[in-house]
Structure 1
Amino acid sequence: MRMRSIKPKALIASCIAHAPRPPDAERSVEKLTSARGVTSLAYLIVRNTSQNKATFPCSEILMHLLNNTCDVYVAVQALCYQREQQVSMMPQPIRLRIILGEDDARKLILPAGISDSIEELCQEIKTNFGVQQDFCLQYQDPDFGNDFVNLTAISEINDKATLKVVYLDSVQLQSFTEDGVTCQPVRSPTHSFSSSSDTDNTRPVSSSGSSPSTRLSVWPSVFTVPRFSYEAELQLEKANAEFIAGGTHLTPSPKLKSHLLERLAEEIIKFKVYPTDNDLNEVAEALVKQHPCLREQGSFNGCYGWKISLKYKMANVRTKLRGLGCAEVLVNSLKNKAQDKSKAALNVKKPRRAEVNYCPQYPKGETTDSLEKERIALLSEVQKRNNDNIVTMKMQKTFSYRRQEVIQGQPFIADFKSRWPALFTEKEIDKEFLRISTVPLLSRFFYELDLYTPRMMELFRGKGGVAGRKMRHIMVAISKDDTIHTRRACILKSLCVYLNEDHEKLVKEYTNTEANTEAMEQTVMGVYVIHQEGAEPGDDPENIGVLIEGVEVLTGLRSIAIACALLFGLIYCLNLSYPPELKCTFEVLQKIIMKLDGQRLSSKAQFLKKQANGVNELETDSCKPDIFFFKVSAMQICVYCFKV
């Protein structure tokens, strides 16, 4: 018997269909049993599958196919068995009780099972509940009478577990230990709970020395549409009901549209004064998703007009802020630009690397003269011993003054170091980076770097060609001295090579001679390592530091990895550009390691991220195991079908 022209893809689709069993399934089975052989049965299955009306699980389809043929569908039997095994091993949904506040506990359902890591679980909580602050999680530990303990392993979570969200403030308690063993960024919890809906994101990072406009968090991964006025909410509620009932779109009146744009602009200002096109697109999409009646007919995504309106609205808001003396906008006024650059669209100074507090206002009650006096007092305080607390307090108080000097004045590094010597220490660079980006520098840098290290070492060792030989030569140091500092240094050097950049531009090694001293003075930016003349390859270096514009801004550092992390922090603190010859390396450090503005990646960074996360073409298809399995046997099934 020869089958009709049934396409192999359709037969495969029918075999992998796994729909819920309807009440009349038995009757349908009997009806199909009396059909005219395999041809009619396969035809009906394919037709039902194509119409999304598949009524049989794989086992019943297989049963009736085999009843009408001998061993033609042996391959189909194996495929269906594989499908049933995969279905039986599918992860079960996990239900969690999430405590967001003192009187706020919510239910979280994870259909795909528990997340693979704590970071993914935190992202799920942020996405589902709109939490914008950083936080850590605590779980009920039965070993301590179900008291809440910090969650350090995802395996501690079971179905119907209770997790407590502990919000973090800007004070970092622990970064990394002296022996190089890293920990996850830990910051002190706030004394009271709050959800994202009632959190004021414009509150200061610190209670003293901050301006009212100081921001606390980065741009959210999921933008939360604010509540509008009572009258506007009533109009939108009625229009949404009409849209759901009959598909009627709302054409907002000028008054309503102006109010909606005003409220959205107020929410955007909490995070950015200069939002990008992608940011505005996210806001517009969130608006039409929450209020579908506002979707635009004829627009390719239903919200393009809202995006353009938001763009013009933000321009008008910046004009108002400029008139009010907002420093972040005033810095781009024509009065503050040089005569050869006096164009509105030329040399716009705005956050380009996910800086949250790019150019903040002066603290309340402070002026340029009063903050200059604080700077002069800081020069004497930094020379005293055991005076870290006072230095930190004055550095926090003068943060806005220092940032405006960096952005507007663009001073030489040597001059700036003489004016602010307290900044050029490991501790203060870490805190300054935290003030700018709201992200801890050293703890995040080393935690993420160590997290990616095993996978990166596999990638580097598997690399071929000239780049592979260079990386294997760099990795030889690990076999001679397998310490955390050596491993990190080799990973950072190999990362440059993997991205087709010169690692010697990042880490420059010298001997303590006068000729090398002159070469160091010509260095624009990089980490320097000085070895004693005649030293062996495994000997400790004499000095490790950071060079910018030929100036030794940092010296006496403990390792190359710490020097690279501090160099990255100084680029933010001094508002410098990435070196062109190391552009990709610093992009990876920013967007993958530090997770700052990681949504937009270059092709090199995107490929590295997929490889470092263990995602390749085969693993991308692993989320669809049936399709990948059927790819191997599709030709075999096709041959079997047409032999009948």
Structure 2
Amino acid sequence: MTQPIRLRIIVGENDARKLVLPRGLPDSIEELCQTIKTSFGLQQDIRLQYQDADFGNEYLNLSEICEIQDKASLKVIYLQSNATEDYAITQELPQEVQGPAECSIISSGETEPVTSQGSASSTRQWVWPSVFTIPHFKYDAELELEMANTYYKTNATLLKPSPKLKSHILERLAEEIIKFKAYPSDNDLNDVAEALVKTHPCLREQGSFNGCYGWKISLKYKMANLRTKLRGLGCAEVEINSLKNKATDKKSLAALNVKKPKRAEVNYCPQHPKGETDDSLEQERIAMLSEIKKRNNDHIVIEKMEKTFSYRRQEVLQAEPMVADFKSRWPALFNVKEIDREFLRISTLPLLSTFFAELDRYSPRLIEIFSRKGGQAGKKITKIMDAISKDDTIHTRRACVIKSLCTYLNEDSEKLVKAYSDSDFESQRAMEQTVMGVYVILKEGALPDDDPADIGVLIEGVEVLSDLSSIAQACALLFGLIYCLNLSYPSELKCTFEVWQKIFLNLNGQMLSSKAQFLKNKLLE
């Protein structure tokens, strides 16, 4: 029988964790890296170092799996661990210096899930893992399961768990699930149930079509009971869905308006930091209004924005304010860097660096796919892509790919990016009536190839961002603001935004519409 291996995994500074491999070491270093990534929710590519006794237990690069022994210490090295830092540095540079640097910050859509420095302990730091790791149960439960698993391997006899054992298993699984999300989907619960019977095959259900359907249903009820308990304790994430917090007299409609993550938001409605209340955080917000008027005061504003994150999120979700009102209350949010930080707090993913890197990574294949498109859509794409032959800069290429992607998905790119004249009164009126989109202001008499006078973002007719460096940056920030303000995707562009979310940023990338899935299949051919 294979002996289990216990490893000490150093995943970051002051962050060491225990990993138990019940079936011993995998056959290769690559499999071990994948196991570590899935066990701890790491999404970034990694390599490993081990302690070598010949060199005073200094850490050396792991080159052979046989160099690992039981109770060994391994250090995780992130291959793109400086991606976010590099992006922050490029943002400090003049725009003319930044240009091409954006396209090579990271080379993969997978990035280390991190939170901004100083994040409240109540915020989650990890996305839902691609492979759910079953937690350890209490000693007597582990002993009973170990004996039952051994008996199952020899006699193929399944265990009928006692009510006490089953209740304990469900409670431990619910405790582990809540670390990632309070409202797991059916697919999430199915992942957990499958992982349970895979780890403990004695728990398979003989009468179930997949051997674990009953466990999935039990987990569904257990999570509902846990949410009821948390709601009574004042947990903001579930209390927001109690009827007393529904701002309507029609309780039947209110009950249907469930506020929960729908786009892989990790920190959808976080708790306030320890010791903070609505009143104290409102005072922080008021103090921040004066702080943003001072020079060289960014570090204080960033600290206050971090501290008031939970207060701001609960305001967005509960009050659903108009964008103009919200901008007047939180003006510090509406700039490039802070939107990137807010998106990082919500999704644990850096927005701009990931969006640019994935757009650049997929661009060659997308251009090849676009070239094969026929019909009226193909003619429109050809016209859009002609701009690259005249000006093959990184900004032009990105803009052309984004617009062509809209057209390829049978959506109107002018609904996303609209050009206006700086001297046309009708253009001003049209901008004020725009629900959501990117605007490009052209100088009077300017040629189509000339640089625009301004690029910005419109939401509810409000100019929320201006003086942006490129159309691609404006599109990425518009996407980020949808998360920050908890807005719905515009119906006429929902497929384009879905591709950005699920293919470019890999947020809930397992559940795609037929259009998005068809495009993803082509990208991977």
TM range (shorter): 0.7 to 0.9
The amino acid that maps onto 2:401 is I
Whether the 8 Å contact between 2:388 and 2:397 is mirrored in structure 1 is yes
Deviation at 1:226, TM superposition (A): 0.3
Q: Which residue number corresponds to residue 463 of structure 2?
A: 552
TM-score after normalising by structure 2? 0.86
1:236/1:306 CA distance change after superposition, 3 Å: same
Q: Is 2:493 the counterpart of 1:572?
A: no
The amino acid that maps onto 1:288 is V
Q: Hey, what's the Cα distance between the residues in 1 that align with 2:167 and 2:327? A: 48
Map 1:213-362 onto structure 2 (within 5 A).
213-343=122-252, 345-362=255-272
Q: Which residue number corresponds to residue 375 of structure 2?
A: 465
Q: Pick from 530, 554, 563: which aligns with 2:441?
A: 530
Deviation at 1:342, TM superposition (A): 1.8
Q: Secondary structure at the match of 1:236?
A: helix
Q: Secondary structure at the match of 2:99?
A: coil
Q: Which residue number corresponds to residue 179 of structure 1?
A: 99
Whether the 8 Å contact between 1:185 and 1:440 is mirrored in structure 2 is no
Identity of aligned residues (%): 65
1:284/1:611 CA distance change after superposition, 3 Å: same
- For residues 42-89 of structure 1, the C-alpha deviation after alignment (integer angstroms, 9 at most, x for no partner) is xxxxxxxxxxxxxxxxxxxxxxxxxxxxxxxxxxxxxxxxxxxxxxxx
Q: Secondary structure at the match of 1:339?
A: coil
Q: Hey, what's the Cα distance between the residues in 2 that align with 1:609 and 1:396? A: 35
Deviation at 1:423, TM superposition (A): 0.1
Whether the 8 Å contact between 1:170 and 1:438 is mirrored in structure 2 is no
Deviation at 1:593, TM superposition (A): 0.1
* CA RMSD across the alignment: 2.9
Q: Is 2:431 the counterpart of 1:515?
A: no
Q: Secondary structure at the match of 1:130?
A: helix
Q: Pick from 296, 309, 332: which aligns with 1:422?
A: 332
TM-score after normalising by structure 1? 0.70
1:240/1:366 CA distance change after superposition, 3 Å: same
Q: Which residue number corresponds to residue 539 of structure 1?
A: 450
Deviation at 1:132, TM superposition (A): 1.4
Q: Highest Rg: 1 or 2?
A: 1
Q: Hey, what's the Cα distance between the residues in 2 that align with 1:524 and 1:290? A: 50
1:236/1:159 CA distance change after superposition, 3 Å: closer
When the two structures are aligned, how many residues end up with a matched partner? Answer: 480
Q: Hey, what's the Cα distance between the residues in 1 that align with 2:489 and 2:37? A: 36
Deviation at 1:345, TM superposition (A): 4.1
Unaligned runs of 5+ in 1: 1-97, 115-120, 141-146, 151-156, 187-195, 616-644
1:149/1:435 CA distance change after superposition, 3 Å: farther
Q: Which residue number corresponds to residue 351 of structure 2?
A: 441
Q: Which residue number corresponds to residue 94 of structure 2?
A: none
Q: Which residue number corresponds to residue 34 of structure 1?
A: none
The amino acid that maps onto 2:234 is G
Q: Pick from 371, 388, 407: which aligns with 1:497?
A: 407
Q: Which residue number corresponds to residue 39 of structure 2?
A: 130
- For residues 457-501 of structure 1, the C-alpha deviation after alignment (integer angstroms, 9 at most, x for no partner) is 101111111111110100000000000000000000000011010
1:353/1:461 CA distance change after superposition, 3 Å: same
Q: Hey, what's the Cα distance between the residues in 1 that align with 2:483 and 2:408? A: 24
Q: Hey, what's the Cα distance between the residues in 1 that align with 2:116 and 2:184? A: 25
The amino acid that maps onto 1:328 is E
Whether the 8 Å contact between 1:174 and 1:185 is mirrored in structure 2 is no
- For residues 311-361 of structure 1, the C-alpha deviation after alignment (integer angstroms, 9 at most, x for no partner) is 000000000000000001010000011334423741000000000000001
Q: Pick from 486, 500, 504: which aligns with 1:593?
A: 504
Deviation at 1:298, TM superposition (A): 1.4
> Which has the higher mean CA deviation after the structures are superposed, 170-179 or 339-348?
170-179
Deviation at 1:205, TM superposition (A): 4.0
Q: Hey, what's the Cα distance between the residues in 2 that align with 1:266 and 1:170? A: 32
Whether the 8 Å contact between 1:355 and 1:436 is mirrored in structure 2 is yes
1:341/1:589 CA distance change after superposition, 3 Å: farther
- For residues 152-207 of structure 1, the C-alpha deviation after alignment (integer angstroms, 9 at most, x for no partner) is xxxxx988799962369999312274123223449xxxxxxxxx9xxxx9xx9467
Q: Hey, what's the Cα distance between the residues in 1 that align with 2:271 and 2:127? A: 18
Q: Which residue number corresponds to residue 476 of structure 1?
A: 386
- For residues 550-589 of structure 1, the C-alpha deviation after alignment (integer angstroms, 9 at most, x for no partner) is 0000000000000000000000000000000000000000
Q: Hey, what's the Cα distance between the residues in 1 that align with 2:290 and 2:444? A: 38
Q: Secondary structure at the match of 1:529?
A: strand
Q: Which residue number corresponds to residue 642 of structure 1?
A: none
Q: Hey, what's the Cα distance between the residues in 1 that align with 2:481 and 2:125? A: 20
1:308/1:481 CA distance change after superposition, 3 Å: same
Deviation at 1:391, TM superposition (A): 1.0
Map 1:355-370 onto structure 2 (within 5 A).
355-370=265-280
Q: Hey, what's the Cα distance between the residues in 2 that align with 1:367 and 1:458? A: 54
Q: Which residue number corresponds to residue 93 of structure 2?
A: none
